[in-house]
Amino acid sequence: MRLLMLLGLGGDYRNSLIDELSGGMKRLVLVASAIACGPRLIILDEPTVGIDAQNRRRIWDVIRGGARDGGSAVILTTHYLHEAEELSDRVYLMNRRILMEGSPGELRRKLPWVEVRSDDGDKSIRVTWDEAVNVINDLVRRRVRFEVREPSLEDVFMEVLNHEAE
């Protein structure tokens, strides 16, 4: 019952038949049923495809909490690299074969740049960390709003694909 409540399936939906639920709610039931009995291995194939942001976060919370904390190993396939970044201890980037593998942090560090975006003419530049320090100091001195974005898994994946195409 705790799992159903975490996924927002308690209360009004508690006695509903699965055929009466929306597509997103059906997906939540499938994830809950995969996790509920506490198996040692859970394989989830694109568990959040077609799911709204709120339910996607609920599924993530259940995967993190119910599955991992319950002692289950989780294998997750997804096209959403942000999801892999959020949920995975180890990631395999694949395109017909394994292109690269490692922790999300290890894979992101493969790219030697950070992106500095500023309100100074809507600029966005990619620079090394050493160069970023100078750029950021200049922006702070001029009191320009900015943000620093590290490479994402999607950036890494696209870089690997581009190198393969060459």
Structurally, the chain folds into a number of domains equal to 2
CATH number at residue 60: 3.40.50.300
Q: What is residue 64's DSSP assignment?
A: I
Residue 69 sits in which domain range? 2-77
The answer as to whether 54 is a domain residue is yes
CB under 8 A, 24+ apart: contacts of 149-152: 149/114, 149/115, 149/116, 149/117, 150/108, 150/114, 150/115, 151/108, 151/110, 151/111, 151/113, 151/114, 151/115, 152/81, 152/82, 152/85, 152/108
Question: Looking at residue 6, what is its pLDDT?
Answer: 62
Residues 62, 123 share a domain: no
For residue 101, is it within any domain? no
> How many residues are present in the chain?
166
- Please indicate, yes or no, whether residues 118 and 65 belong to a single structural domain of this protein: no
Each residue's pLDDT expressed in tens, for the chain with a length of 166 residues: 566 666 666 666 667 777 887 777 788 888 878 887 888 898 999 989 888 888 888 888 888 876 666 788 889 999 999 999 999 999 999 988 999 999 999 999 999 999 999 988 767 899 999 999 999 999 999 999 999 999 999 999 999 988 877 7
Q: Is 72 inside a domain boundary?
A: yes
Least Cα distance to 59 among 26, 37, 92, 91 occurs for: 26
pLDDT score at 80: 92
Specify if 40 maps to a domain: yes
Same domain, 63 and 113: no
pLDDT reported for residue 108: 93
Domain assignment present for residue 145? The answer is yes
